[in-house]
Amino acid sequence: MKVLPQEKFKMLAEIYDWSLDRAQGFVDGENSRLWGKKPSQHVLIGSDEYSLGFRAGYFERRNVLATRTV
């Protein structure tokens, strides 16, 4: 079953206690990385919720423990 993007945003926001903007940025960042697209200057230097989420999704971490919070 394929999860619709809007539902994925809501699910991520609920699981990780993120805002919807951060969750949307995360999904967009993941998709950009998977499709080989270069990120815009705004998301690389921005400090808004969307930009923070985008960078989290775009710059994949190999160490799962590094992404966990206590």
1-33 pLDDT, tens digit each = 455 678 888 888 999 999 999 999 999 999 999
Evaluate whether 22 touches 13 at the Cβ level (below 8 Å): yes
Residue 10 lies in a domain: yes
The pTM of the full predicted model, rounded to 2 decimals, is 0.77
**Residue 28 covered by a domain:** yes
pLDDT at residue 8 in the model: 83
Q: Is the dihedral of CA 40, 42, 16, 2 positive or negative?
A: negative
Alpha-carbon distance of 42 to 2, in angstroms, equals: 30
Residue 70 lies in a domain: no
Domain hosting residue 33, numbered range: 5-59
